[in-house]
C-alpha cells in the first residue's frame, strides 16, 4: 500500500516538477495575502526580477506581466516572455478576478486556452491534462510603485503540493535602493533564499 502511495506521489512530481517547487504535504497558508489590497493601484506593467527556479528558466527570459482594466470592469492579464530557442516574443492572456473580496490580495487568473508550446511555462500547469487552466495567486506584499511579491500553491494530491513565487518590479532594471527594499520584504517573510534572479538583459522595454 505504502509503495503505491509513493509511486503515485513521485509520478505526479515527474509530470509537474518542470513548473514549480515540489514539497511533501498539502498547501498551507504560510504566506498570507496582504490586507487592504488596492487592485486599481496594482494595475499596469510589471517585470519579473526574481522567482522560484523552474525548468522554464532554461528557455525563457525577459518575462513581464501587464494587468489591464477595461471599460466594462474586466481585468486581463498579459504574460509575456522571450523564447531563447526561437528568439520570439510570446504572449499568453488570462482573466483576473479577486476571489475573497475587494480588500484582500488573492485573485484567480483564468486561461481559456493554453497552447502546447507554452504549457511548460505556466505556474501549476500539468501538461496533457486540460487546455483550460485556473491559477490562484496571493499578493504577499506590494508597495504598488516599486515591487510586488506574489505566491501560489497548488495541491498535486493528498501527499504533495507545488509552490511558486515571484518578485516583480515596476522598472525593468530597478535601482539598488528598490531591490534592497524588496530584499528586506523577502527576508521578513523568510522567502529570499528560495529565489533566483530572472534575466532582463537585452530585453525590449
Helix (H, G, I), strand (E, B) or coil at 76: strand
Is 18 marked within a binding site?
no
Contacts 24+ apart (CB under 8 A), 10-17: 12/156, 12/157, 12/159, 12/160, 13/156, 13/160, 15/126, 15/127, 15/128, 16/124, 16/126, 16/156, 16/162, 17/55
Residue-by-residue DSSP string for 97-133: EESS-TTB-EEEEEES---TTTGGGSTT--TTT-SSE
Please report, in range form, the residues annotated as the binding site for substrate. 119
Amino acid at each position: 500500500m505504502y509503495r503505491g502511495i509513493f509511486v503515485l506521489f513521485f509520478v505526479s512530481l515527474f509530470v509537474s516538477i518542470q513548473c514549480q517547487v515540489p514539497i511533501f504535504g498539502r498547501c498551507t497558508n504560510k504566506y498570507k495575502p496582504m490586507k487592504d489590497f488596492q487592485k486599481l493601484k496594482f494595475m499596469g506593467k510589471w517585470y519579473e526580477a526574481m522567482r522560484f527556479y523552474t525548468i522554464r528558466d532554461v528557455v525563457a527570459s525577459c518575462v513581464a506581466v501587464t494587468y489591464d482594466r477595461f471599460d466594462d470592469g474586466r481585468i486581463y492579464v498579459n504574460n509575456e516572455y522571450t523564447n531563447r530557442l526561437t528568439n520570439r516574443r510570446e504572449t499568453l492572456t488570462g482573466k483576473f478576478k479577486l476571489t475573497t473580496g475587494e480588500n484582500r490580495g488573492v485573485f484567480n487568473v483564468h486561461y481559456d486556452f493554453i497552447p502546447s508550446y507554452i504549457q511548460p511555462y505556466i505556474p501549476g500547469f500539468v501538461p496533457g491534462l486540460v487546455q483550460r487552466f485556473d491559477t490562484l495567486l496571493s499578493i504577499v506584499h506590494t508597495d504598488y510603485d516599486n515591487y510586488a511579491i506574489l505566491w501560489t500553491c497548488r495541491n498535486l494530491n493528498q501527499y504533495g503540493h507545488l509552490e511558486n513565487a515571484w518578485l516583480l518590479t515596476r522598472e525593468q532594471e530597478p535601482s539598488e535602493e528598490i531591490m534592497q527594499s524588496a530584499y528586506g520584504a523577502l527576508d521578513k517573510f523568510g522567502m529570499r533564499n528560495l529565489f533566483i534572479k530572472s534575466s532582463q538583459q537585452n530585453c525590449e522595454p
